[in-house]
Amino acid sequence: MASRRILKELRDLQRDPPTSCSAGPVAQDMFHWQATIIGPNDSPYAGGVFQVTIHFPPDYPFKPPKVAFRTKVFHPNINNNGNICLDILKDQWSPALTISKVLLSICSLLTDPNPDDPLVPEIAHMHKTDRVKYESMARSWTQKYAMC
């Protein structure tokens, strides 16, 4: 079941890729993908190229994929290990969701962080109390870690 579903999602992604994202298997391992997300223009991550890993569980799509940033990013919902605090990757997962929708949700999270459900409370506090400093730090990290 999982293999057929993953293959279908890969074909759908190749036929109709989401804006500013790409994804596909690493080597021949259909359960381990690499994705690339281009930082949204209307965010402090603009111009950045962010590498993301996707691991599908054997019981996908009944369980969510494990998705993590490999590129360092200054964000209240993404920690130093690249873990992402996103409801659809946890308790709001549904088998109706796809990797394409997950990638679009991550892009949306880059544009609109959720400081009320942070993985990094210090960054969330900065986002709430000093937006200029937060955006400056996010831009600085993007230039340092996500630009060639």
Q: Which domain holds residue 111?
A: 2-145
Per the listing, tokens 């340092």 go with 144
In this prediction, residues 91-100 reach a mean pLDDT of 97
Q: Taking the CB of residue 46, how many other CB atoms lie within 10 A of it? A: 15
Q: Residue 87 pLDDT > 90, yes or no?
A: yes
In this prediction, residues 95-106 reach a mean pLDDT of 97
User: pLDDT exceeding 70 applies to what percent of the chain?
Assistant: 100
21 catalytic, yes or no?
no
The rounded mean pLDDT for the chain is 96
Say how far apart CA 37 and CA 103 lie, in whole Å: 8
pLDDT per position as a tens digit, 13-58: 999 988 899 999 999 899 999 999 999 999 999 999 999 999 999 9
CATH of residue 90's domain is 3.10.110.10
pLDDT per position as a tens digit, 68-81: 999 999 999 999 99
Domains: count for the chain: 1
DSSP 47-115: T-EEEEEEE--TTTTTSPPEEEESS---BTTB-TT-BB--GGGTTT--TT--HHHHHHHHHHHHHS--T
CA dihedral 46, 53, 21, 76 (to 10 degrees): -40
Give residue 19's pLDDT: 87
